[in-house]
Structure 1
Amino acid sequence: MASRRNLAASIGGWSAQHRKTAVFGWLLFVVLAVVIGGMSGTDKITDAERGVGESGRAARIIDDAGISEPAGEMILVRSDKLVAQDAKFRAAVEDVINRVNATQIKDKGPATQHMRSPYAGQGGISSDKHSALIQFDMAGDSEKAVDNIQPVLDAVAAARGAHPDVAIEQFGDASGDKWFKDTIAKDFTRAEWTAVPLALGILLVAFGAVVAALLPVALALTAFIAAGGLLALSSHLMPVGDNAQSVMLLIGLAVGVDYCMFYLRREREERAKGRDPETALRIAAATSGRSVLISGITVIVAMAGMLLSGLSEFESMASATILVVLTAVLGSLTVLPALLSMLGDKVDFGKIPGLAKMRRPTGGSKVWGKILGVVLTRPRATAVLAGGLLIALTIPVVGMKTAQLPLDKELPTDLSIVQTYQHIEKAFPGGPAPAQVVVKTKNPDDPKLAAAWDDFRRAAVASGKMHEPIEVERQGTTNIFKISVPLAGGGLDKTSNDALATLRDKVVPETLNKVDNVQDAPVTGNTAGNKDFNDKLGAARLPIFAFVLGFAFLLMLVSFRSIAIAATAIVLNLLSVGAAYGVMTLVFQHGYGDFLIGTDAPGAVVSWIPMFLFVILFGLSMDYHVFVVSRIREAYDKGMNTKEAVSHGIRTTAGVVTSAATIMVAVFAVFGTLSMQSMKQFGVGLAVAVLLDATIIRGLLLPAVMSLLGDHNWYLPRWLNWLPQMDHGDEAVDVPAPAGEPVPAYASANGYPAPGYEPVYPGTGYDESVSSSRRIPRPPAG
């Protein structure tokens, strides 16, 4: 006989008995996590840690040499009428240079260094002579350049006003970072804090009471805050990327609210049946608490798959997600039962007239009852139609194109920073983001190096895929040189990638690598970095897919002791992910409906999104699957046959699943309104997948498939009987009959089917008395 376990029930019982300890312990945990995390500081991912492949090798050479690369800036002076040699044009260029050279960092000296005039040769003037490119570096620490760029921006603005006959535009590391900091950061902040009141509003509708609505949001936010402190601590082992905090809030709010809703809805349902507060809470801990535990473990295991990618940004987002989900699960299992025990029926305080009357947790969903009547009567037709729709949505994935988007595709084209980038790219192809060859030498003073630079320059230009200005610069007093090489093309297109291949496979090997003094000469830059990133990501796909699918299957197998349930979970989740991919392909690659989210289709899906979405969606989809199937299994264990259990499980969970999905879709859709194309795709992909998962899959396909499988749903080979037996219902607690209420029709006072019971499910159109009357009570499986 398999052993029986219900860890969630044990934790919930302890919390309810030690309410003050649980609540104050949680608050102390949150405060300590924040304080200690703040004191420890956060380690950010460096370029050396971020890089992979050849570009990563170049970054490590720079890092090992202790070189602090300055923030580079470019100022484009252009005119449709004047050419670079005209007096007015030249005067504007010289004025810009003088004004920029005169800028100062308060109490620290000049703000700029290494000024390169376009008239000094080496390609500073465009081929049509109507544009000139001024290049310089910001002085001081490149990390602080964004804080020191404002005087330079002011000087350029003043020059722009003094020379109306020409256009003067600035683009670079520091000015670009400042634009992102001022614009995109505010964009993110607005979206993040729009999601919170949105979630609260939906919860008010779902529960019809202020306190009940505030609890899930409060739990989710405190879990996010605590996880932020833990992330700062863990960053000293695994540095944090720029997107980690945003992803952590997005996922933390979604799962934190979901987990609390699952728990709270079941507790309210049991109270509505007439259970006393203590019993209702114990049942909620044993049922929904267990679902929360399994769901959380599934999300954590799925996200752990990203640790196999070998990409520091992915590892950072994975660790952030794991921490916030782990914290949300901990809060749901400990402080939530304690709070519910303290509040009792006061959790319904602040009832909203009209909404409170709409909440009937024990009656099930009438809408879903009618839908289920059709599904359970015609399960084969439903499975074919619902499955066919999802497969049809998945078909466009066959032609999906993935790419790292250049700036003018990543951001709306009407933004000034994008227009400046396009102008520089048009006048000086490859100018905004040239390739860089990092040359490590044995003796930097060897006179033969000058000949090597000349040979390299001639070979690069002769290839027809690279052009001037090709600049060679020694990095301080080190033995490292950096060669800047503008590539043909737009930076991330086929032309640029072909140019990169020529540079790496032909030009460098036939010139620099033949010099005895050169130890290494890897190529880096935006084009190279993106190429290496995509290659690494492609190699990581198979192990990540295998890890996530394998562990999800094993977890479902252990949780439900059923081969069919585990396999069904995998297939249904793959369908939801595939359909989301298909919708993304239609919208962002082919442009169908792109105007609805305020964008122009860039013609491709951002390369990192499909893999990251797969992992997140696989974890989040299991939330609903575990919650719904646990309720079905609970009813089955109490004596219902499969169709009865499916009907009961879907109807009783439909309300909370619908509310939870609405919150998730709303939160993710907010991120679809951001300016950055990658965040739009991320938000839309998540929103579409969750919407399909909560409706087509959980409402139609799951009950149809389980109905068709019948008792085969619960098949477990004898050789797997050693698997632990986990409670799915209230078996782990002593459950008396509800006081003052009739025992539910299908059960006797001990929770098992009453002898001779002939169940009929109102609203489903399904009369079980025809096929399963007078069944013998069945004890729980195992």
Structure 2
Amino acid sequence: MTALSRLVIAGRWWVVALWIVLAALGGFAAPRATQRLTFDFGLPGQPGYEANVDILKTFGSGGIGAPVLLVVGDGSSEVPAAEPIAQAVAKAAPGARIATYADQSDLLADDGRTGVVLVYPIPIASDQPYASALAQLRPAAEELTRELGTPVVVTGRDALNFAEGDTGGNPLAETLAGGIGAAIVLALVFGSFLALMPLVIAAASILTTFLILWGLTGLTDVSFVVQYLLALIGLGVAIDYALLLVTRWREETGNGSTPEEAVRTAMSTAGRSILFSGITVAVSLAALIAVPVPFIRSVGYTGLLIPVLSVAASLTLLPALLLILGRRLSWPHRRTTDPESRLWRGVGRFVVRHRWVAATAAAAVLIILAVPSFGLRLGQATNDALAAGSGPAATAVRSLDGNGPGAGLSAPVEILTDTPSEVVEKIRTVDGVGGVAAPGQWRSGAGESVVDVWTQDDASSSSGAAVAAEIRTVAEDLGARVGGIPAQDADFIHTVYGSAWWILIAIVVVTFVLLAVALRSIALPAKALLLNVVSLGAAFGITVWIWQGGHGTELLFDRQPSGAVTVWIPIAIFAFLFGLSMDYEVFLLSRIKEEHDAGHTTDEATVHGVARTGRLVTSAALILFLAFVSLSQIPTADVKILATGLALGIIIDATIVRGVLAPALVAALGPVNWWWPWGPKEKP
């Protein structure tokens, strides 16, 4: 850090000029990078995915895409003839694969008063693959309702996930919303224009990351999801690091140091913490690159870039700006430069004085929060979760259950076979099957046919998923290939979580080594890893409790409970929370160790460490929380679940874990904290 400080101090103007150029290029690259992002959630080599690819290639639609459903009738009278509806659908969605209740009896309710027209439109490359088709089908359905005198309602997973006129999330708008929240928190923390510094660092690092992302999109596929993660998590991480360095610089200038001396001290203390923290975050996110799923890998690439660029900007651009503008921006100086918080000093003293009680109480709360995670079920959101409110589309999808065709019709199993009659006959013997559709026109020139099979229960429920698995087994035993959403989800769970254990071990080992070297301790990194496990368990538990259990989803998001957590979300929450939580652990433990090295006892060092980092950590966590709240405004249910886990996980970690449990355990371990077999014996 000494050499880097010397370089930045000597070339401050060159450093600022370089980052201005990078940020300008990033601003140019950002819209071009987002245009090149992909919308593929594929699993190359896995049977379900490969079957879906062949279905899409052969028939132009279907596979991983759920069908659009036109529900005809309201249960008050028999449904009208299906032919005019099929003709209107074919006109509104040219090339779509269609099945109607006229020639597929399983698409008709038992009482004959509700029928379904099953439609697979040709998808477009977008996070809303049926956007253009739905834009045509909805007015066509309204026209049919007027002509036939009976309701014709467009529903299905895509129709429910994206309301009419919904254009999806806007990364710029969400980032600005998160930035405004961050600006308010920073203004309260600094009470001066120094609050602008972290925002400038965040802007520079985010734009530069977009520049590299643009180049990355030319080398590999990168998922559209990363634009939201890059913008909002990049905002939070960059501000975290900048907040730590600016706080330490202001502390040193308040103690009488010149700006240059303050930069040297801040870089050797806070800067060192930022470096090790950034490396730890990067390692946890880079582990996603090892997952054999392109979509997850692209999240790993971007996740690696976020902390690396944030650290680079915080350790070069920020000290240069502090040297040039720091004194001027300290106005109006409404906050003391003393980093110690009276509130957190009181918390630290209480926790140290009552260490075992505090540790036990905090652990009990975290364990209670973690209990629901044992009931975690991976899958897609249920129909009820997607069908928020009481609109026509929601009412229509609910009518599939009961005496209707079957709730699983929203996500059928798609079977590719050259013996459709044999497959249909055998599949009908499976308990829990809601129906089968095998129109003659769903046959290719090569003789392969698509057979759609759906479960009576929602395919995203535990019972529906079990029936879908049985359907797959029966079909594959007959030599058929099985696709659809249920098959691809099952393959995803097997591929990702079947090999997750060795990725977790790699993350733990590398993180332990990094922290051991940074803190020169064996006990502290072991404790940090243990606390991360508890913190992650609480985050998973409360996410399951809210979304899967349905406690607060309507109040907070105007949504029904999901009934399951989307298959890719737990590993994404783990990667991001593991790294971000370790940020706060490094901030806290580094300051405690610094105080201990300065001659304080373990108890005194712990109180000083909490007093000097408590406000910093909670402010940083609040900024990240606000960023994730902004992320939750994205209309996609999956992103809302991810944002919930990250937002609440960060708050739990910064308060209960780092504010109470971590310092209580440091005080409890006493001299054990400082045992380091490769150095001189530490004093207690």
Of residues 520, 527, 535, the one that matches 1:568 is 527
Of residues 184, 199, 224, the one that matches 1:201 is 184
Of residues 661, 665, 668, the one that matches 1:705 is 665
Deviations 1:285-330 (A, max 9, x none): 1211111111111111011222233233322222222212221111
Distance 1:15 1:438, change over 3 A: farther
Equivalent AA in structure 1 for residue 304 of structure 2: I
Equivalent AA in structure 2 for residue 156 of structure 1: A
- Aligned-pair CA distance for 1:24: 1.7
Of residues 392, 405, 413, the one that matches 1:428 is 405
1:460 matched to 2:427? The reply is yes
Give 1:46's aligned residue.
40
Equivalent AA in structure 1 for residue 49 of structure 2: G
Distance 1:580 1:508, change over 3 A: closer
Give 1:489's aligned residue.
457
Give 1:367's aligned residue.
343
Deviations 1:570-597 (A, max 9, x none): 1222222222233334434445555652
Give 1:127's aligned residue.
110
Distance 1:688 1:148, change over 3 A: closer
- Aligned-pair CA distance for 1:433: 2.3
Give 1:15's aligned residue.
8
Give 2:490's aligned residue.
531
More displaced stretch, 34-43 vs 521-530: 34-43
Contact 1:638/1:780, CA 8 A, preserved across alignment: no
- Aligned-pair CA distance for 1:482: 2.7
Give 2:369's aligned residue.
393
1:663 matched to 2:623? The reply is yes
Three-state SS of the structure 2 residue aligned to 1:482 is: strand
Three-state SS of the structure 1 residue aligned to 2:436 is: coil
1:381 matched to 2:390? The reply is no
Give 2:328's aligned residue.
346
Give 2:653's aligned residue.
693
Three-state SS of the structure 1 residue aligned to 2:676 is: coil
1:547 matched to 2:506? The reply is yes
Distance 1:484 1:376, change over 3 A: closer
Equivalent AA in structure 2 for residue 582 of structure 1: G
Distance 1:406 1:585, change over 3 A: closer
Contact 2:382/2:460, CA 8 A, preserved across alignment: yes
Paired with 1:591 and 1:172, the residues of 2 have a C-alpha distance of: 21
Of residues 622, 627, 650, the one that matches 2:610 is 650
Give the TM-score normalised by the residue count of structure 2. Answer: 0.89
Give 2:230's aligned residue.
248
Paired with 2:377 and 2:410, the residues of 1 have a C-alpha distance of: 25
- Aligned-pair CA distance for 1:135: 4.0
Paired with 1:310 and 1:569, the residues of 2 have a C-alpha distance of: 28
Matches within 5 A, 1:320-339: 320-339=302-321
Matches within 5 A, 1:54-453: 54-62=47-55, 68-69=60-61, 73-84=68-79, 89-90=80-81, 93-103=82-92, 111-112=94-95, 116-136=99-119, 138=121, 146-147=131-132, 149-163=134-148, 165-171=149-155, 179=162, 182-183=165-166, 185-186=168-169, 191-209=174-192, 211-349=193-331, 351=332, 356-357=333-334, 359-362=335-338, 364-410=340-386, 412-414=388-390, 416-424=392-400, 427-429=404-406, 430-439=408-417, 452-453=419-420
Contact 2:245/2:271, CA 8 A, preserved across alignment: yes
Paired with 1:390 and 1:471, the residues of 2 have a C-alpha distance of: 54
Paired with 1:462 and 1:693, the residues of 2 have a C-alpha distance of: 51
Paired with 2:627 and 2:125, the residues of 1 have a C-alpha distance of: 35
Equivalent AA in structure 1 for residue 380 of structure 2: Q
Three-state SS of the structure 2 residue aligned to 1:334 is: helix
Distance 1:713 1:421, change over 3 A: same
Equivalent AA in structure 2 for residue 59 of structure 1: N
- Aligned-pair CA distance for 1:684: 3.0
Contact 2:489/2:567, CA 8 A, preserved across alignment: no
Distance 1:69 1:173, change over 3 A: farther
Contact 1:577/1:614, CA 8 A, preserved across alignment: yes
Unpaired runs of 5+ residues, structure 2, are: none
Distance 1:344 1:431, change over 3 A: closer
Three-state SS of the structure 2 residue aligned to 1:337 is: helix
Contact 2:459/2:468, CA 8 A, preserved across alignment: no
Deviations 1:340-373 (A, max 9, x none): 1110311224x3xxxx43x223151111222222
Paired with 1:139 and 1:689, the residues of 2 have a C-alpha distance of: 39
Distance 1:34 1:79, change over 3 A: same
Contact 1:291/1:626, CA 8 A, preserved across alignment: yes
Contact 1:113/1:136, CA 8 A, preserved across alignment: yes
- Aligned-pair CA distance for 1:216: 1.4
Contact 2:58/2:444, CA 8 A, preserved across alignment: no
1:28 matched to 2:21? The reply is yes
Paired with 2:525 and 2:387, the residues of 1 have a C-alpha distance of: 42
Contact 1:390/1:575, CA 8 A, preserved across alignment: yes
More displaced stretch, 556-565 vs 699-708: 699-708
Distance 1:413 1:640, change over 3 A: same
User: In angstroms, what is the RMSD of aligned CA positions?
Assistant: 3.2
Three-state SS of the structure 2 residue aligned to 1:688 is: helix
- Aligned-pair CA distance for 1:242: 3.4
1:633 matched to 2:593? The reply is yes
Q: Percent identity?
A: 25
Equivalent AA in structure 1 for residue 263 of structure 2: L
Q: Which has the larger radius of gyration?
A: 1
Name the count of aligned residue pairs. 673
Three-state SS of the structure 2 residue aligned to 1:468 is: strand
Distance 1:309 1:435, change over 3 A: same
Equivalent AA in structure 1 for residue 75 of structure 2: D
Equivalent AA in structure 1 for residue 40 of structure 2: T
Contact 1:33/1:227, CA 8 A, preserved across alignment: yes
Unpaired runs of 5+ residues, structure 1, are: 1-5, 104-109, 440-448, 514-520, 722-777
- Aligned-pair CA distance for 1:129: 0.8
Three-state SS of the structure 1 residue aligned to 2:115 is: strand
Equivalent AA in structure 1 for residue 675 of structure 2: Y
Matches within 5 A, 1:603-622: 603-622=563-582
Paired with 2:104 and 2:439, the residues of 1 have a C-alpha distance of: 11
Give the TM-score normalised by the residue count of structure 1. Answer: 0.78
Equivalent AA in structure 2 for residue 83 of structure 1: E
